[in-house]
Amino acid sequence: MRKKGRRIVEALELPKEVVFNLPIIQALGAEDVSITNYKSLMEIGTERVRINTADGQVVFTGKKLILKHVTSESITVSGDIDSIEFVR
């Protein structure tokens, strides 16, 4: 069902982030990374931040991580970000 749905969406060129509720991740260098369309916060740490999305978990690792802006729509992670990882 999921596969079929994906094919229809791709054929019709529908925005995937809307149909599948996929997260949009925007990075401003390695300083500010904002993630829109997330589900929930799972871990808040100085070296690791885990965010749950419809597409699995997004894990930020780095040093002195801080969540600069947090709303129900989006989160901005900043600090010395080393990696952004997708865990499914």
Which residues bind to other proteins, rule: CB under 8 A?
40-46, 65-72
Find the shortest distance in angstroms from Cβ 6 to other proteins.
28
The least CB distance from residue 27 to other proteins, in Å, is 19
C-alpha 39/C-alpha 13 separation (Å) is 24
Give the shortest CB-47-to-other proteins separation in angstroms: 8
Nearer to other proteins, 27 or 66 (CB): 66
**24 vs 70, which CB is nearer to other proteins?**
70
Complete DSSP assignment for 13-72: T--HHHHS---EEEEETTTEEEEESEEEEEEE-SSEEEEEETTEEEEEEEEEEEEEEE-S
Q: Which is nearer to other proteins, 18 or 42 (CB)?
A: 42
